[in-house]
C-alpha cells in the first residue's frame, strides 16, 4: 500500500508540474498574442480583398537592442532628417527648426527666418528635407500650413525652399515654390511628406483637408489636394509625369485619391511607398504607381467617425487601386523609413509612426505584401511622428512627448 501511495503521489506531482508548465506556456502565449497582434475589434465587417491585406502575422525582433532617450525637451517635433555631419535637423510644429548635435543633444541650435505658420489643430511647420546637393548648395525644403493673407481663417499646405546659413542659425533667400488650392479653414489633413527620387525630382503628398465639401478634391484632377505631386526644385511639373500631355489635368499630379498621406519613402529598389490616414478604420499602405487612383473617397476600408458608411460601403471598384495593406482599427500613421542601419534583422523593414497606437511600427514586406508587423516603444506611451536611420547606423525617432529616441544595436 505504501508503494502504491508513493506512486500515486508521484503521478499527481508529475501531473501538477506538467499542468502548471502547460498553463504557464498558454499564459505566455496569450500575453504574447495580446501585446503584439491586433486583437481589438474591427470598426467594420468589411472583408479584405486578398489574404494578408490586414492583420499580418506578429513578428518579434530576436536581435538585442537598446532604447535610450537622447533629449526630452523638444516641444512638438514633426520631422527629422540627417545632416551630412551626423547631426539632425528637426522641425517643431509651432514654426521653427533646430539642429540637434547627438554628441551634445541638449545644446540645441535654433534656426530663425522661417515664414509664419498657422499652428491650428494639425497645422504648423511640417516636413523638411535636404536638397540632393546640400553639401554644395546648402538648400533645404519644408512644408507648412501657410495662413491666408485675405483676413480669412483659411490656410493651405505650401512648400518653401531656402539656404541654411553656414553658421546654421537662420535660413536665407526663402522662396515659396508650391501652394495647394483651394485654401480651407478645417485645420485638418494637410499631409504632408517630401522625398527626392534618384533623378532629383521632389515628391510631395497632400491631404484633402477632411471636411465633407473638400473630400471631392481627392478626385479632382485640377486640384493638388488628396494627391502626390512630382515637381522640380523650383516647383515646376517634373518631366515625364503621367498626365503631362493631358491639358485637363494638373501636370504635376503623380497619383490621386489620397485622404491624409503623412508618410512617403523610397525603398532600395526605387519604389515609392505611401501610408495614409483612413477615417474610422482603413489606414492604408500603398505602393505608388504613376497615374494611379487610390480610391478616396470612392472606396475605403473605414467608416465615418460617427459610424456611418462611406460610399455606401464600397471597398473596391474597377480602376481603383487596392491598398497593399490596411489597418482596422487604425494606427494613425506618421513618417516612414526603410531601415538601413546596423541591426541586420531590421534591414529593409519599413518603419512607420503609430500615433493612436503610440508605437513605432515595423513592417516586413515581401513580394509587395506585408508578411509581419511588430510594435515597438510601447512602454513610452508616445505618439511617434517621424524616424530616420542616422549616419551612425542607429534608428532615431521623435514623438509628441517632445522626446528623441535612439534605438541602437546591443
What span, in angstroms and rounded, lies between the C-alpha atoms of 128 and 95? 12
pLDDT at 4 over 60: no
Give percent of the chain with pLDDT exceeding 90. 89
| pLDDT band (50, 70, 90) for residue 37 | low
Task: Tell me if residue 258 is catalytic.
Answer: no
**What are the residues facing 350 on neighbouring strands?**
338, 363
| From the candidate CATH numbers 1.40.20.10, 2.120.10.30, 3.40.50.720, 2.60.40.350, the one assigned to the domain spanning 41-409 | 2.120.10.30
The dihedral through the CA atoms of 305, 309, 310, 313 has a sign that is positive
What span, in angstroms and rounded, lies between the C-alpha atoms of 17 and 334? 48
What span, in angstroms and rounded, lies between the C-alpha atoms of 372 and 348? 13
* Mean pLDDT along residues 110-134: 97
* 140, 127 contact by CB (below 8 A): no
Lowest-confidence range among 15-24, 58-67, 398-407?
15-24
- Give pTM, 2 decimals: 0.91
**Domain locations in the chain?**
41-409
- 184, 189, 277, 394: which one is catalytic? 189
pLDDT digits (tens, 9 = 90+) for 209-266: 999 999 999 999 999 999 999 999 999 999 999 999 999 999 999 999 999 999 999 9
pLDDT digits (tens, 9 = 90+) for 156-202: 999 999 999 999 999 999 999 999 999 999 999 999 999 999 999 99
Closest to 397 (Cα-Cα) out of 355, 368, 363: 355
Pseudo-torsion of CA 366, 367, 373, 376, nearest 10°?
Answer: 50
* Mean pLDDT along residues 319-335: 98
* Mean pLDDT along residues 367-390: 97
Amino acid at each position: 500500500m505504501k508503494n502504491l501511495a508513493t506512486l500515486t503521489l508521484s503521478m499527481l506531482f508529475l501531473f501538477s508540474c506538467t499542468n502548471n508548465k502547460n498553463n504557464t506556456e498558454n499564459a505566455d502565449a496569450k500575453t504574447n498574442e495580446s501585446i503584439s497582434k491586433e486583437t481589438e475589434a474591427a470598426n467594420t465587417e468589411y472583408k479584405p480583398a486578398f489574404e494578408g491585406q490586414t492583420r499580418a502575422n506578429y513578428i518579434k525582433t530576436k536581435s538585442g537592442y537598446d532604447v535610450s532617450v537622447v533629449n526630452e525637451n523638444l516641444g512638438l517635433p514633426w520631422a527629422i532628417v540627417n545632416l551630412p555631419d551626423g547631426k539632425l535637423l528637426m522641425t517643431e510644429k509651432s514654426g521653427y527648426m533646430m539642429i540637434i548635435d547627438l554628441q551634445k543633444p541638449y545644446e540645441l541650435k535654433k534656426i530663425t527666418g522661417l515664414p509664419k505658420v498657422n499652428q491650428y489643430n494639425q497645422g504648423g511647420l511640417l516636413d523638411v528635407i535636404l536638397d540632393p546637393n546640400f553639401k554644395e548648395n546648402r538648400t533645404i525644403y519644408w512644408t507648412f500650413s501657410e495662413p491666408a493673407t485675405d483676413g480669412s481663417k483659411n490656410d493651405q499646405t505650401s512648400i518653401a525652399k531656402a539656404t541654411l546659413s553656414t553658421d546654421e542659425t537662420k535660413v536665407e533667400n526663402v522662396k515659396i515654390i508650391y501652394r495647394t488650392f483651394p485654401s480651407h479653414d478645417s485645420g485638418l489633413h494637410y499631409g504632408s511628406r517630401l522625398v527626392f527620387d534618384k533623378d532629383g525630382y521632389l515628391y510631395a503628398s497632400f491631404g484633402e483637408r477632411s471636411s465633407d465639401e473638400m473630400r471631392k478634391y481627392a478626385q479632382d484632377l485640377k486640384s493638388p489636394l488628396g494627391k502626390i505631386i512630382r515637381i522640380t526644385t523650383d516647383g515646376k511639373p517634373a518631366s515625364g509625369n503621367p498626365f503631362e500631355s493631358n491639358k485637363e489635368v494638373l501636370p504635376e499630379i503623380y497619383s490621386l485619391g489620397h485622404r491624409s498621406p503623412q508618410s512617403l519613402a523610397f525603398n532600395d529598389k526605387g519604389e515609392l511607398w505611401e501610408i495614409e490616414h483612413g477615417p474610422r478604420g482603413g489606414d492604408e499602405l500603398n505602393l505608388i504607381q504613376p497615374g494611379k487612383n487610390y480610391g478616396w473617397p470612392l472606396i475605403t476600408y473605414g467608416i465615418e467617425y460617427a459610424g456611418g458608411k462611406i460610399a455606401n460601403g464600397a471597398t473596391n471598384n474597377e480602376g481603383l487601386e487596392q491598398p497593399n495593406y490596411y489597418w482596422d482599427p487604425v494606427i494613425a500613421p506618421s513618417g516612414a523609413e526603410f531601415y538601413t542601419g546596423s541591426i541586420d534583422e531590421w534591414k529593409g523593414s519599413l518603419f512607420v509612426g503609430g500615433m493612436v497606437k503610440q508605437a513605432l511600427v515595423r513592417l516586413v514586406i515581401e513580394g509587395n505584401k506585408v508578411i509581419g508587423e511588430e510594435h515597438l516603444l510601447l512602454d513610452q506611451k508616445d505618439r511617434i511622428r517621424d524616424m530616420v536611420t542616422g549616419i551612425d547606423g542607429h534608428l532615431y525617432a521623435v514623438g509628441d512627448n517632445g522626446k528623441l529616441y535612439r534605438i541602437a544595436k546591443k
